[in-house]
Amino acid sequence: MRKIFASLDIGSCSIKLIVGEIQRNKLNILSCVDVLSGGIKKGFIVNNESAELALKDAFAKTEEMIGLPIKEVLVNVPCYNLNCFISSGSTTITSDDKVIKHSDVIHAMQGSVYNKINDNQELVSILPTKYLINDEEAVTSPINMVANKLTVNDVAVIIPKKNTEAIIKCLEKLKIKVIDVVVSPLADYYEFRNESMAKEVGAIVNVGSSSTTVSIFNKGILTASEVIDIGSNTIDNDIAYIFKVSKKDANYLKEKLVVADLHIAEPSESIMLEDVNGNSIKVSQYDASAVALSRLNEIFNLVKKQINLLTKKEISYIIVTGGISELGSFSSFVENVFGSKGRVGNVSEIGARHNKYSVALGMMKYYNSRLKMRDAEYSIFSLEEQEEFGGAHRRVNISDNSLLGKIYGYFFDN
């Protein structure tokens, strides 16, 4: 079965819906849609009608690109009041051969949170930290080992149910099934993780439109997260106020003109436009960048304070993501703020190569890791739909000796 997933990142500014396929542990983008949001504030639905219209737009555009309706999605939910707690669960191996299977691991993990989650809380994830065989031997992976008892030490991630209920109900009304909810810290980690991060303590900072999320990871395990109620739209507001332009024009100036380092900002480079009074004005790169940097410094001073509040451990890395991190010279800004520990995330997937997609992309990688843990397979499309999607009955036979055949062989066989 092909592993085809759909992930939905619902933000205050935009809604991102991505369909991707994982092959050989690599995520390939099949469609990427980004539409203006509506009825959403800080990830919460505040106007059902507006939210439904925006979501319908995203799904309609995706269906137009894919050629098949999207009926099931992973969805990003707000991580306000997210909590992590350490737990442990055990299970007796009941099979005749006493060989530990994936189902045994899942049973132990489920036992670790049994009767520990309130009715008003939602379990988002269980992250294993250690496996013990017969209460003695610690192993990295217990699968296929022989034992009488398996114990799993883990970290459970929970959020208030109110963070998920309205989003799920809205999607159900549109006849879209939510197969799992994911919080942005986990998604971002899975998008940017590497071998060294699994051995270190670090932070991931996602600067969204209306809020900024700061999360701490200890050897790949989420241990704490906090949301700061300030985001990149404050830069738009500042530019609009200072230069007396509309919010739309302010956003345009931010994206087309602003750089995150005043040393390279050019006073001579400028954009002409009309202010709200209809007067023609010229805004220079230096002036627009100075306004943006003033607000960026405020945001990241708060981020530094939040990191210090969330952990007293030595930080080895700080990864910054979100759409604002695509500004020119943003890497220099991050290094100035955090020193050598700071870096900008790098989304590399062709078809979605922009940091505003880090959560939507990471959700699919995170969910794939959950499937591996359960030794399960999943696709949003049935086998019949996969054949239709792949065009199994509409393929043109191309000779391996032809130039086009060699090109196809190069791209798809390597």
Full domain range(s) for residue 123: 83-160
Contact between 289 and 260 under an 8 Å Cβ cutoff? The reply is yes
DSSP-assigned letter for residue 324: G
Looking at every residue in the chain, the average pLDDT score rounds to 93
Residue 314 lies in a domain: no
* 388: confidence class by pLDDT, cuts 50, 70, 90: confident
CA distance 141 to 372: 12
Of the residues 258, 274, 296, which one is the last residue of a structural domain?
A: 296
Structural domain total, the chain: 3
Contact between 219 and 200 under an 8 Å Cβ cutoff? The reply is yes
Instruction: Report the DSSP pairing between strands 40-41 and 137-139.
Output: unpaired
Q: Return the SS3 of 1.
A: coil
CA distance 318 to 214: 10
CA distance 61 to 57: 6
Residue 315 lies in a domain: no
Contact between 316 and 200 under an 8 Å Cβ cutoff? The reply is yes
Residue 304 lies in a domain: no
The CATH number assigned to the domain holding 152 equals: 3.30.1490.110
Of the residues 160, 192, 220, which one is the last residue of a structural domain?
A: 160
Pick the more confident residue, 412 or 314.
314
Which tokens is 243 given? Answer: 């230069």
What's the CA angle centered on 61, arms 56 and 67, to 5 degrees? 115
Nearest to 306 by CA among 210, 209, 228: 228
How much is the average pLDDT of 306-312?
97
pLDDT per residue as tens digits for the range 45-102: 999 999 999 999 999 999 999 999 999 999 999 999 999 999 999 999 999 999 999 9
Contact between 155 and 87 under an 8 Å Cβ cutoff? The reply is yes
Residue 390 lies in a domain: yes
pLDDT per residue as tens digits for the range 250-287: 999 999 999 999 999 999 999 999 999 999 999 999 99
pLDDT per residue as tens digits for the range 150-188: 999 999 999 999 999 999 999 999 999 999 999 999 999
β partners of residue 125: 157
Residue 202 lies in a domain: no
The CATH number assigned to the domain holding 240 equals: 3.30.420.40
How much is the average pLDDT of 222-234?
97
Residue 345 lies in a domain: no
* 391: confidence class by pLDDT, cuts 50, 70, 90: low
How far from the centroid of its chain's Cα atoms is residue 397's Cα?
39
Residue 370 lies in a domain: no
Q: For the chain, what is the total number of helices (H) and then of strands (E)?
A: 11, 18
Q: Which of 24-28, 124-128, 221-225, 388-392 has the lowest mean pLDDT?
A: 388-392
Task: Return left, alpha or beta for 391; rule: phi > 0 is left, psi -120 to 50 is alpha, else beta.
Answer: left
Of the residues 281, 296, 311, which one is the last residue of a structural domain?
A: 296
How much is the average pLDDT of 225-233?
97
Sheet with 342-344, side-by-side order of all strands: 221-228, 212-218, 201-207, 317-321, 342-344
CA distance 52 to 45: 10
β partners of residue 19: 6, 31
pLDDT over 50 (residue 238) = yes
* pTM score, whole prediction: 0.91
CA distance 405 to 397: 9
Residue 394 lies in a domain: yes
Which tokens is 34 given? Answer: 């980004």
